[in-house]
Amino acid sequence: MSVSVRIPTILRTYTKGDSEVTVEGDDVASVIDALEASYPGIKARVVDETGAIRRFVNVYVGTEDIRFAEGLGTTVPTGQQVSIIPAVAGGC
């Protein structure tokens, strides 16, 4: 299944500046693996050494935060958009 993935600015060095890419995948884990196959090094910025989504990275399938769904096993319907969004912190 072909899905589009929105790439945050901080990871666009891996996608040669593209803000959105298309990859194949049935669930979030396979989408991330497909990203790594096409854009080596990007997976390590999204998941940690245990394979879990990094603490300060949010991943959405459509408008659904995968942390409240099936996590990496969240199904990605054909044509659905996956968004990788780094958490923003700061202020005083």
Phi, psi at 44, each rounded to 5°: -65, -20
Note the pLDDT of residue 90.
66
Q: Would you identify the CATH topology of the domain 2-86? A: Ubiquitin-like (UB roll) (3.10.20)
pTM for the model: 0.91
| Residue 27 pLDDT greater than 80, yes or no | yes
51, 66 contact by CB (below 8 A): no
How far apart CA 5 and CA 71 sit, in angstroms, is 16
- For the segment 52-87, what is each residue's pLDDT rounded down to a tens digit? 999 999 999 999 999 999 999 999 998 899 999 998
Q: What percent of the chain has pLDDT over 90?
A: 89
Mean pLDDT, rounded, of the chain: 94
Ordered by start, the domain boundaries in the chain are 2-86
The average pLDDT across 5-28 equals: 97
